[in-house]
Amino acid sequence: MNTTSATPRASDGRFQPGNPGGPGNPFARQVAQLRKALLNSVTEQDIQEVAQALIARAKEGNTAAAKLLLSYTIGKPDAAPHPDRMDVDEWNGYRETATMKTEAASLAQAGAPESHLAIVRTLRPLVAELAHAQMCQVVEEEMKPKQSPPKAEPEEVGFDMSEEGMRYTQEILDEAARHWEARKAASVAAPAPPTSPSGSIREARPSANGSILDREPSTNGHFHRNGFTSEPEA
C-alpha cells in the first residue's frame, strides 16, 4: 500500500508522513563552513552569559524564553503511551534486547569506534593520493605519441646442433657413403664371361697375336666383336 501523501506539506507548512522529501540543501558545504565559523566565534563564557540572560527572562514570565530553556535542558515531553498498545510496546522492548547475547562476542571483538576512525582518517588520504598518481600516469601514457612496433628480425637459418639433429645428419651421411661405395664397386667389376649358343660358358683364348678373343671365329673365318666384322689374322 502506498502511504505517500499526494500533498507533501500540511496546512501548517510541515511535511506530512510518507512524503518523498525535498531535494536537500545544495549548499550543504557552504552552510557547514558558516556554522564552523560561528562556532569558532562563540566561547564557553558567551554561552554561559546567554544562558543566564535566558534564565532571567524565563523567571520574569517570558513564555518563549521558558519554552526555549526547557526544550534545551529537559527536552520535549514524550507522547503519552497508548493504553491499547501497552502489551505490544513491552513485547517490542524484550525483542529488541533478545539479540544482545548472540551479538555480544562480535561487538566485543570489533574494538572501539575511535580506533577504526583513526585508521580510516590516516589511510583514506594516502589511498586518494595513490589513485590520483595512477590516474595521472594513465593520462600521461595516453598523451604520448604512438610509435609503430619495431620490425621483427628475420630468423637466421642454421644447422640443428642438438643431439637429435646431429644424429639425423650422420645417418644421412652414412647412407650417402654406402650408396657411393656400391656404385664404385659396380663400375670396376669384371664383365661376365661369354656363353655359347648352347648356354655353356667358354673360356677366353688368346689369339695368334696374343690378344684375348672374346668370341669364337665364325664359319667363314671372320671374327665378330661388338657387332663389327674383321678379317682373320694370318
| % the chain with pLDDT above 70 | 64
Mean of pLDDT over the chain: 76
CB atoms within 10 A of CB 207: 13
The mean pLDDT value for 108-123 works out to 88
pLDDT at 76 (0 to 100): 84
pLDDT at 108 (0 to 100): 87
Q: How far apart are CA 121 and CA 112, in angstroms?
A: 15
Domain ranges of the chain: 28-76
Q: What residue ranges in 166-233 does DSSP mark as E strands?
A: 205-206, 212-213, 223-225, 228-230
Among 50-64, 131-145, 171-185, which is the least confidently predicted range?
Answer: 171-185
Helix (H, G, I), strand (E, B) or coil at 204: coil
List phi, psi (to 5°) of 16. -85, 160
pLDDT at 12 (0 to 100): 76
Grid cell in block for residue 206: 688368346
The mean pLDDT value for 55-79 works out to 92
Query: What DSSP designation does 25 have?
Result: -
Q: What is the 3-state secondary structure (H, E, C) of 103-148?
A: HHHHHHHCCCHHHHHHHHHHHHHHHHHHHHHHHHHHHHHHHCCCCC
Q: How far apart are CA 205 and CA 199, in angstroms?
A: 18
Going from the C-alpha of 21 to that of each of 2, 10, 15, 141, the distances in angstroms are 15, 13, 8, 46
Q: Is the dihedral of CA 155, 156, 157, 161 positive or negative?
A: negative
Helix (H, G, I), strand (E, B) or coil at 36: helix
The mean pLDDT value for 101-128 works out to 89
Question: Residue 161 corresponds to which amino acid?
Answer: M
pLDDT at 229 (0 to 100): 47
Residue 226 — very low, low, confident or very high, per pLDDT cuts 50/70/90?
A: very low
